Amino acid sequence: MQWYYCRDGQTVEGPIILDDLVRLFSDGKLTPDTMVAAEGEQEWRALKSVIPVSSTVPPPLPQQVDYVAKLLSVTVSLLGWFSQLKFRWRLALVGLALLALFSVFKSHEPSSETVRGNSGSERMTEEESEAMYRKAMATLPNKQHTCTVCGGTGEVANTTVRPRTGLTGSSEGQCDTCHGNGSFRTPSGYDAVCPTCGGLGGRKTTTCRSCQGRGYVLGW
């Protein structure tokens, strides 16, 4: 069936099929009160009597709120109000704001409570946490045993005597008195053999690597 429609009350347009009529209505080009007439009819009638408006037109979209603009407006208003306050009231408001921020951050700090067990999350008390810490420490090697390498002295014989390099400063194995030279210059201008290393340029003993000079090692 062909249809005719009149949008301005004077100009008749058509013919078109009913599907095209519905499409024009859906696109907003026709209103529910647009006058239409089917081919062969003698009277015009409103489009809403032909097309159920409630079933063909979706409900109007909700009004979009510009939250950014509203936030800026509120911020400007608050700043204007804040600038009119006396200094002591400004200071009080700033303190309250900082206190509120501190409370928020404090509430989001990670909890020290531990989750344990397979049946759910059970909160561990401070006593239980302390007991677990002591138990863990008990499993660590915490007994002192005399170092078998140095015999508890923390030093061993220096078997890697450095050659006489004449370098200033001391390094591992090097004599601290002559700094590896094996001799030193006397106030009279003569060279004398170093009494500490006997002219070797190296210390007779050096720090024990096994116990790091402590004289003991940790064990069970």
Segment 199-219, tens digit of pLDDT: 777 777 778 888 888 888 876
20-24, 128-132, 164-168, 179-183 — which is least confidently predicted?
Answer: 164-168
pLDDT at 212: 84
pLDDT in tens, 36-85: 888 888 888 888 888 875 544 555 666 666 777 777 777 777 777 667 66
CA distance 102 to 137: 36
**Is 172 a member of any domain?**
no
More confident residue, 65 or 143: 143
**Residues of the domain holding 30:** 2-56
pLDDT at 163 exceeding the cut of 60 = no
Most confident residue range from 27-41, 102-116, 125-139, 163-177: 27-41
Residue 180 banded pLDDT, cuts 50, 70, 90: confident
> Is residue 17, in this structure, part of any structural domain at all?
yes
Q: Per-residue confidence at 10, pLDDT binned at 50, 70, 90?
A: confident
pLDDT value of position 119: 45
Rounded distance, CA 33 to CA 8, Å?
11
Whether residue 98 is contained in a domain is answered as no
**Domains: count for the chain:** 1
The CATH number of residue 20's host domain is 3.30.1490.40
Mean pLDDT of the region 22-45: 86
Secondary structure class of 138 (helix, strand, coil): helix
Q: Which two tokens stand for residue 39?
A: 């081919």
In the prediction, which pLDDT does 167 show?
A: 47
191 assigned to some structural domain: no
Tokens of 14: 């058509």
> Is residue 16 domain-resident?
yes
Q: Is residue 43 part of a domain?
A: yes
C-alpha distance from residue 81 to each of 77, 78, 84, 100, 133 (Å) = 6, 5, 5, 20, 55
- The average pLDDT across 85-103 equals 73
Would you place residue 121 in the very low, low, confident or very high pLDDT band (cuts 50, 70, 90)?
A: very low
Q: Is residue 25 part of a domain?
A: yes
- 3-state SS assignment for residue 20: helix
What are the backbone angles phi and psi of residue 138, rounded to the nearest 5°? -70, -25
Q: What is the pLDDT of residue 168?
A: 46
- Domain assignment present for residue 107? The answer is no
How far is the C-alpha of 29 from the C-alpha of 20, rounded, in Å? 11
